[in-house]
Structure 1
Amino acid sequence: MTSVHRDVETATPRETAEGETPHPLGELSEQDLRAHTAEVLERARRRSVELTDAVGDDDLVKQHSKLMSPLVWDLAHIGSQEELWLVRDVGGRDPLRPDIDDLYDAFQHPRATRPSLPLLGPSEARSYVAEVRNKAFDVLERTPLRGRDLTRTAFAFGMIAQHEQQHDETMLATHQLRKGDPVLHAPAPPPATARHLPEEIVVPAGPFTMGTSVEPWALDNERPAHEVFVEAFALDTTPVTNARYAEFVDDGGYGDRRWWSEGGWSYRSEYGITAPRFWRREDGRWWRLRFGVYEPVPPDEPVVHVSYHEAEAFAAWAGKRLPTEAEWEKAARYDPATGRSRRYPWGDDDPTPEHANLGQRHLRPAPVGAYPKGVSAVGAHQLVGDVWEWTSSDFTPYPGFVAFPYREYSEVFFGSEYKVLRGGSFGSDPVAVRGTFRNWDYPIRRQIFAGFRCARDLRPGDAGV
């Protein structure tokens, strides 16, 4: 479990050649970079439209849970952030709606109070985000993609695309909390083709390059690249499945104080939690509610909608622990054959539907073993996509961290209050998921699409000891 951080002076792709693979985005012509950026922005907007057009105006303005904003707030907030950064800052254009800046400032208004604000209605919000997008595309066409840190390699545009996709995943979570008939539909994920996988893989001891200094659209908390030494450890080959988690539940795991931390036990007791969120026991069988569909819990899918506390308790029951963030990233990125850190578990190429379950294509986790082409160099499956994976690490800055482009993206959240999640979920878009991407949330959160896998220290007699 020991990790030692050491700065690597890696400011340019050339300087990081021994630890990281330079990103091909930096090699595109400005014309091709603009086309790529426009496509990424359009993909995000298509998803936003699908999520908001799926329901009527009454559902758009309704708060489906105090944990979430009304869908119409998310939509206008997406437009507001795009206006602030792309239209006003990068483009230097006059404000469209300065009167709504405060309404859509997430730091000024907690989610629980947002329905009481004088928000834009559905029609007005749609018109606003469309007008902002037209101006943002004009800015993209006219702005040199070099010079300023915000414009170099289209960073600000990539940041806004990621922001919109992150809210699209948040809106998807709101749909999961919504009551009523199903309105979202998607095909089933692919079946498992990699069978008889080992329970664990061993990640060898040694240093690796964690974080990035060359990924053009990486956010500030992913930077800079730095060397970390990680002791050898064992890691579950796949995320913990529903069937395995049900064993913990059926064994009385939720009622056994031995497996829970003090904070976890207090949380479990206060809220009377007895199973993953959306699970229900009927006639000796576990069922779940998924986007309005009531169905048996699939045994071979990764468990989802569990908090950090639940994941930690399961790991203790299983005689294991949760991996640290450094352990997770080493298992995902480190290639023993080259000593380099890959962009993704499978290599440096962007994700395809054969690599990982991303992009809200299936609206559920895929069975473990469904993506053999996504396996990491050390043999771990499905580290990207399906479910966010809780780690045991607090959300803290890397050595040499510099806030950019504003403190409120990462810096104000650093500390022991939040736990780090890695890897993305079926609700995440590829633009917002990479081997270095860091998510964080309160350890009590269950509405997010989070699961986990376990790790353990090696024992005498284990391979690699």
Structure 2
Amino acid sequence: MSSPGPSADEAALKELIADELGAVRDRSFGLTTDVLAEDDLTAQVSPLMSPLVWDLAHIGNYEELWLLRAAAGREAMRPEIDDLYDAFEHPRAERPTLPLLKPGEARSYIGTVRSKVLDALPSVRFDTPDPLTSGGFVYGMVVQHEHMHDETMLATHQLRRGAPALLDPQAEPLQVPGEASGAEEVLIEAGPFQMGTSDDPWAYDNERPVHIVDLPAFYIDVEPVTNAAYIAFMEAGGYDDARWWDPAGWEWRNSSGKRAPAFWEREGGQWARRRFGRSEPVPPGEPVQHVCWYEADAYARWAGKRLPTEAEWEKAARWDPAAERSRRYPWGDVYEEGRANLGQRALRPSETGSYAAGASAYGVRRLLGDVWEWTSSDFHGYPGFRSFPYREYSEVFFGPDYKVLRGGSWATHPLAVRGSFRNWDYPVRRQIFSGFRCARSTAEPATAPAKGEAR
């Protein structure tokens, strides 16, 4: 007796998966072989980053491991290259010395993998108790993984020197800033909320399980900290006053010599930034980006505030106090275009006042998109955490070495971020598209110093 065919819902999900696999691959090629010569793909622009050709072949090898071998039960295509593209076997600094696939070979390899994945997709059942394939989880994992590497590729492009390879869209799709909210910060009332998720089919293990967190009342900024506000911190001597710096941050500041966000320099008496090979004045109304956790923490202290905890950020982003439930996105449970600057719509953040329709139930704006937002929290598993489908995605990073970032950036694809999504990195990292907003306890008045004033 033959097995019954897939349900209409499963068939629709498989069609969606095939479309998303195609869309993310177009994006990957648009960041590599479509725009760069072979030498640029094989070069390492920084020890912090892999050669782009490594990222390209790695996404194909990851897809082969999980969608061909694990999900479809097919034989290994290229088992001899598994070690080369295992991110835990070789640190980024040494990857250029490996016998990597050449760009043409990499493109051919990942194309063959994709062809076999699509051939096998109709035979993979999603209505099974296997958590790997149930609800198409492993396919969502692979699509999100490739989008994450695309964002990493964008960081590599930002570090590149020479002629620009990426151009802003001719018809720029970012919103024109609308009416200001009228408040710099909002009060989030004390009380419990539901943090994390247990029913999002494509959520990662570190987002699970949903659990109750009871927080005291706090204030949080309506918008991320802008370039103009950060320049005020710089001009007030913020980089030269140890009072504002975490001890490890002060050591980093002294050893690194940094006195401004990454890619900034003084030109003709004003600040300019290098953005994908072009120099331009720093836009005052955009969120500051390319700052590390230590810089964000120092600014917050100087401003008489602090960075929000991860739980505070998520409550401000997801909790609907009227409905007493958490939303998937700040504005609701369904992703809608025009509510956030996500998906590489432009190669930069939007201006303050944009995307007001993406505000949370509390009126906090631009919590998704624009810049990843540093929080004060170390990266740990939630109560009841279970590693799935492999420890190396989340669990091996737990501990005080990594700080949590939330919300995604302009470079993050909507499929790869939601209100419960958690990112993490070392507190010294600046090549990522990171910024921040501030918070404070209700017992702490906001006492930002005047320009040039020492506190």
Category of TM-score, reference length = shorter chain: over 0.9
Query: Hey, what's the Cα distance between the residues in 2 that align with 1:91 and 1:196?
Result: 51
State the alpha-carbon separation in 2 of the partners of residues 250 and 429 from structure 1. 35
Q: How does 1:7-26 map to 2 (within 5 A)?
A: none
Among 214, 224, 239, which residue is 1:229 paired with?
214
Q: What is the Cα deviation at residue 459 of structure 1?
A: 2.9
Does the CA-based 8 Å contact 1:88-1:95 persist in structure 2? yes
Residue 154 of structure 2 corresponds to residue 172 of structure 1:
yes
CA contact (8 A) 1:197 1:237 kept: no
| Distance in 1 separating the partners of 2:101 and 2:309 | 42
Asked if residue 238 in structure 1 is aligned to residue 219 in structure 2, the reply is: no
What residue number does 1:268 align with? 253
- CA distance in structure 1 between the partners assigned to 2:297 and 2:138 by the alignment: 37
**8 A contact 1:351–1:430 mirrored in 2:** no
Deviation for aligned residue 1:250:
1.0
Return the offset for 1:222: 0.2
Pick from 108, 113, 126: which aligns with 2:107? 126
**1:36-80 deviations in whole A, cap 9, x for unaligned?**
111221121111010002111110000011100000000000000
Question: What is the correspondence of 1:297-336 to structure 2 with a 5 Å cutoff?
Answer: 297-336=282-321
**C-alpha distance after superposition, 1:328-375 (max 9, x if no partner):** 0000000111111000001111141x1101111101000011101100
Contact 2:304 2:445 in 1 (8 A): no
1:21 maps to none
2:200 aligns to what?
A: 215
Cα distance in 1 between the residues matched to 2:430 and 2:183: 29
How high is the sequence identity, in percent, across the aligned residues? Answer: 60
1:43 aligns with 2:23: yes
Hey, what's the Cα distance between the residues in 1 that align with 2:315 and 2:175?
A: 27
SS of 1:420's partner is strand
1:106 to 87, 103, 108: 87
Secondary structure of the residue that 1:208 maps to in structure 2? strand
| Distance in structure 1 (CA, Å) of the matches to 2:386 and 2:336 | 28
The code of the aligned residue for 1:95 comes to A
Q: Does 1:382 align with 2:362?
A: no
Cα distance in 1 between the residues matched to 2:9 and 2:306: 47
Partner amino acid, structure 1, of 2:42: V
1:51-130 to 2 correspondence within 5 Å?
51-52=31-32, 53-130=34-111
Match among 156, 171, 178 for residue 138 of structure 2: 156
Partner SS, residue 390 of structure 1: strand
Aligned to 1:295: 280
CA offsets, 1:6-49, max 9 Å, x none?
xxxxxxxxxxxxxxxxxxxxx97111110111122112111101
User: Counterpart in 2 of 1:411?
Assistant: 395
The superposition leaves residues 194-224 of structure 1 with CA deviations (integer Å, 9 ceiling, x where unpaired) of 3253110111111000000000000000000
Cα distance in 2, alignment partners of residues 70 and 296 from structure 1: 29
Partner residue, 2:433: 449
In the superposition, the TM-score normalised over structure 1's length comes to 0.92
Structure 1 residue aligned with 2:12: 32
Using CA pairs under 8 Å that are at least 6 residues apart, name the structure with larger relative contact order, 1 or 2: 1
Aligned partners of 1:54 and 1:266: how far apart in 2? Answer: 40
Mapped partners of 1:117, 1:125: distance in 2: 14
Aligned residues: 435
* SS across alignment from 2:421: coil
CA RMSD of aligned residues (A): 1.2
Once residues 83 and 459 of structure 1 are traced to their aligned partners in structure 2, the CA distance between those partners, rounded to angstroms, is: 54
Counterpart code for 1:43: A
Kindly indicate whether the alpha-carbon contact (under 8 Å) linking 1:194 and 1:371 is maintained by their aligned counterparts in 2: no
Residue matched to 2:378: 394
Report the more deviating stretch, 130-139 or 184-193: 184-193
Give the AA of the match of 1:84.
Answer: L
Secondary structure (helix, strand or coil) at the match of 2:179 reads: coil
| Unmatched tracts of structure 2, length 5 or more | 1-6, 447-455
Partners of 1:79 and 1:194 in 2: how far apart?
45
